[in-house]
Amino acid sequence: MDYVENKLSLGEQREAALARTAQHVLTAWKEFDAARDHESLPSEALHQFLTTPLPRDGSDVLDVIDRAVAVLDSSLAQSRPRYFAFIGSAGLEVGALADLLAHSYDTNLAVDARAATELEWQAVSWLAQFIGFPAQTGTFTSGGTISNITALASAREAAIPGVREHGLDGRRPTLYCSVEAHYSITRAAEVLGIGSANVRAVAIDAQRRMRADALREQLRRDLTDRYTPVAIVATTGTTLTGAIDPIGQLADVAEEFGVWLHVDGAYGVPAAAVASRAQLFDGLDRAHSVTVDCHKWMFVPKACSAVLVRDGASLAKAFAHEEAYMPHAGGHYNAVDITLEYSRPFRALKLWMLFSTHGADAVREAIERNCLQAQMLFDWVQQRPLFETLRSRPQLSIVPFRAVVEGCPNINDHNDALCSAIQRDGRIYLSPATIDGGVWLRPCFTNFRTTSDDVAALLDVAEELGGVCRILHQ
């Protein structure tokens, strides 16, 4: 076989390199099926290796692949069933295969890429059908932060037509979200010239959901003071506790005041597709735009988020443009006309391969299982005298709980130390969160591999390490 004389081709080592990679991937997938006893930490040799200077000459690709795997094996992997920190993704197997395929062809979804562009539209449509949102169009982005900025740029253009050309022109825009909305909403306000000081953090109720009455009052005050409301952002669910803002009530307010309603469902909106949770999302179809992070609770690897809009023209009003080097083929908008980005990887493929391979019902079942695990943990924690939970049951799959050791001088320091001890211990991994000034352990279930045994292990490890206040403070 003739290979192109090219030092950047793997040439005759192609098959061996693919086989070695496939072998490592298979080992990892099998290992992810069950929890391992301890995380492996980076060795001293690995630390040293990761400070070596730029190599002038290359090395054998098989050695390089082995080294890359050594790095990955000594890193936190969200694919593992006992990774409960933040809001993890889960490294779905067909998602990883999709990435390998997409990156090999390196299709650019900036302008019309023929079949890949059609597949992206189909994936947008499948996602909209899955969550029950009547999207006319949408686009894939690198994450919830960018999806939120993209949607809110459209909202800004709708509230202040021509703003992208003329700037704010003396207007004083405002944005409305719950006090527990994700920071990306503040970031959007900053980059869109709204200003973080003009983000109205609306009060929440006992279940930590945005209060529609407080929102209405704030809007009335702001309109009297001649502010220009750009959007109301409903979070479903919040990063802190998984609370779902009452979309229907917020849609009533949005319609009353003629304001854009954006749903930040980066984490939680896939649960709208699940029978036991669907009613919590009533009113979703009345939103103008929705953010969904497929790299959170749709299980595919990062980075894969989507922004969906009810009015097909709204994204284009904010982003469409003419450039001599950007042809408009086929009479439709290019992706660069409806997104912030230019060069765009083929993110849609992994979601498409998820639905094509496993079907929507399997995704629903996995989300439902995570919701049940949250309810289970909430009930189990109630039965252990050492711990307490928040008063209200989890709405989605986040279950804050904390140790309350009798006589402990500082319950927050204790829980902080407990969380660090759990991370050092390595049997499970979770992160802390501050809720109403208190430090809580905050496990989140978004992994299709997690079993009820893993949930039980979480509580057992926390109890074993959390019972002895004295030890944690040494």
Specify the residue, 235 or 415, whose C-beta has the smaller distance to ligand PLP.
235
Residues with Cβ within 8 Å of residue 195, at least 6 apart in sequence: 173, 189
Q: How far is the CB of 235 from ligand PLP (least distance, A)?
A: 5
CA distances from 150 to 138, 147, 157, 284, 362 (A): 10, 5, 11, 18, 30
Specify the residue, 143 or 466, whose C-beta has the smaller distance to ligand PLP.
143
Q: How far is the CB of 453 from ligand PLP (least distance, A)?
A: 26
Specify the residue, 230 or 266, whose C-beta has the smaller distance to ligand PLP.
266
Specify the residue, 78 or 184, whose C-beta has the smaller distance to ligand PLP.
184
Whether 439 and 429 have beta carbons less than 8 Å apart is answered as: no
Specify the residue, 239 or 447, whose C-beta has the smaller distance to ligand PLP.
239
**CA-CA distance, 398 to 415, in Å (whole number)?**
17
Specify the residue, 140 or 401, whose C-beta has the smaller distance to ligand PLP.
140
- Bin 205: left if φ > 0, else alpha if -120 < ψ < 50, else beta: beta
Q: How far is the CB of 149 from ligand PLP (least distance, A)?
A: 10
Specify the residue, 189 or 266, whose C-beta has the smaller distance to ligand PLP.
266
Whether 432 and 400 have beta carbons less than 8 Å apart is answered as: no
Q: How far is the CB of 281 from ligand PLP (least distance, A)?
A: 14
Whether 392 and 206 have beta carbons less than 8 Å apart is answered as: yes
Q: What is the dihedral of CA 151, 156, 159, 161, to 10 degrees?
A: -110
- Bin 364: left if φ > 0, else alpha if -120 < ψ < 50, else beta: alpha
Specify the residue, 107 or 235, whose C-beta has the smaller distance to ligand PLP.
235
Tokens of 219: 């809007």
Q: How far is the CB of 340 from ligand PLP (least distance, A)?
A: 13
Query: How buried is residue 115: exposed, middle or buried, by Cβ count under 10 Å (0-12/13-18/19+)?
Result: exposed
CA distances from 216 to 141, 185, 228, 254 (A): 32, 19, 14, 9
Q: How far is the CB of 446 from ligand PLP (least distance, A)?
A: 10
Q: How far is the CB of 238 from ligand PLP (least distance, A)?
A: 6
Q: How far is the CB of 303 from ligand PLP (least distance, A)?
A: 7
Which residue ranges make up the site for ligand PLP (CB under 6 A)? 87, 143-145, 148, 182, 184, 235, 239, 264, 266-267, 293, 305
Q: How far is the CB of 152 from ligand PLP (least distance, A)?
A: 12
Specify the residue, 87 or 335, whose C-beta has the smaller distance to ligand PLP.
87
Of the CA atoms within 13 Å of residue 44, those in its CB half-sphere come to: 0
Partners of residue 439 on adjacent β-strands:
434
Specify the residue, 119 or 234, whose C-beta has the smaller distance to ligand PLP.
234
Residue in the block written with tokens 């969550």: 131
Residue nearest to ligand PLP (CB): 144
Q: How far is the CB of 270 from ligand PLP (least distance, A)?
A: 12
